[in-house]
A and B are shown apart, each in its own frame.
Chain A
Amino acid sequence: MLVALASPALAETPSSDGAALAARASDAAKELRTYLADLAKAGSRPDFSKPPASELFGRIFDMNGLAALPPPASNDFSWLLNWSAARGGIIKAILTFGITPPAGASDQAAIERNLVDYEDQQTVATSFLVRVVAREVQSLTLFMAQLPEDQRTPMRQEGFDTVRAGATKVLSGALITLTANARMLSAAIRDTGEVWVGNIFPKDRSEIMQEIATAQREVKDGEAKKNLAALGAALARRSSGRPL
């Protein structure tokens, strides 16, 4: 009973679908890390176009599974954390493949090679990141909203503000990485636009809008330009106080 009083959201049973997908992603991430380590020891490089790398990668960055989930709920965060840990480790493992940590200046060439060779994987991973981070923000927003007044402490609000600021960095980083695969990533940004418009702090808006403008200038794909323009326009409306 105390659990329910103190934390109604965490006390509920987590969404089984989301929890199952997160557990599957976590298992796949462990397997993929082992596989990558074995390849590195053998002096080989991963080929994400065929199993096992393609299948493991697909289970971690399961865009279709994420899209098929029910709408965000206040108790999603328990399994979203699991998923976050799985995908975060893999993004870094691919970026630093073949490097013995900690990475140093002498490893720059290896990182650059990984960025070129695994550009498609990084794009999928970043697109997934944008979508899942948006869900995390939505889930935590609901969590905060259902708390009794006396539990909305300043420290808790500070934690929530840190989440919003961190999410903005994710979006900013994604905008910076927009390249030849801009359509997929910009679609993720477009689909989650409402979350960004509602959660980017006013002080960060102009920087994000500048990054959107830069990305719009640099991408060639018409649809990607349109996707970016939609977010830029929504942020501009928010800044001017006009209706979204």
Chain B
Amino acid sequence: MENLTPEQRTPVRETGFEKARVGGEEMIYGALVAMTQGWPREYALNIFPNDRPLILNQIAEVQKAANDDEVQKNLTAFADALAAAKQRRAAIAPDATSRSVAWL
């Protein structure tokens, strides 16, 4: 590729950047699943309050940047799962005033 002019090599590089970008977004999705799923619900409800702001922020950021359908679909499903956890938590402890609940 070094033998090509900058103009000639740009489409190839564009493909590479796009592949790297999508791979990076898939990594974030996979990491979120690995870190937060599979927990028993009662544990998840206690853990999510501390981590949810960061996780939801990351999902929103990645969704903004992603134009890949599969990545979008995965992230939307994950954000929905977190929102459902939030609702369940609110139903369980609507009047709680602990620091964890304040994060909800």
Contact = CB atoms under 8 A, between A and B. Distances in A.
B20 interface: yes
Contacts of A119: 6
A61 interface: no
A155 to B, nearest CB: 5
Given A6-B39, A6-B40, A153-B37, A163 B30 contact: yes
A84 interface: yes
Contacts of B58: 81-82, 84-85
Interface in A138-181: 140, 143-144, 151-180
A136 B26 CA distance: 12
A74 to B, nearest CB: 10
Contact of B17 (A126, A140, A167): A126
Contact of B23 (A5, A122, A167, A177): A167
Contacts of B65: 85, 88-89, 92
Q: Per DSSP, are chain A's interface residues mostly helix, strand or loop, or mixed?
A: helix
A140 B34 contact: yes
Given A153-B38, A162-B33, A95 B23 contact: no
Interface residues of B, number: 52
Nearest to B32: A159
Best-buried of A81, A89, A111, A112 by chain B (most CB within 10 Å): A81
Interface residues of A, number: 67
Contacts of A233: none
Interface in A102-116: 102, 111-112, 115-116
B33 A156 contact: yes
A177 B42 CA distance: 46
Given A82-B54, A85-B57, A91-B21, A166 B37 contact: no
Contact of B33 (A116, A158, A164): A158
Contacts of B1: 178-179, 218
Given A6-B46, A140-B35, A161-B30, 10 more contacts: A2-B43, A78-B51, A112-B7, A126-B17, A140-B31, A140-B34, A159-B37, A163-B34, A173-B16, A173-B17
26 contacts: A6-B39, A6-B43, A7-B35, A9-B35, A10-B51, A11-B47, A78-B51, A84-B24, A89-B61, A95-B14, A95-B17, A122-B13, A162-B26, A162-B29, A163-B27, A167-B23, A168-B23, A172-B16, A172-B19, A173-B19, A173-B23, A174-B20, A177-B12, A178-B1, A180-B2, A219-B2
Interface of A: 2-3, 5-7, 9-11, 77-78, 81-82, 84-85, 88-89, 91-92, 95, 102, 111-112, 115-116, 119, 122, 126, 129, 133, 136, 140, 143-144, 151-180, 182, 218-220
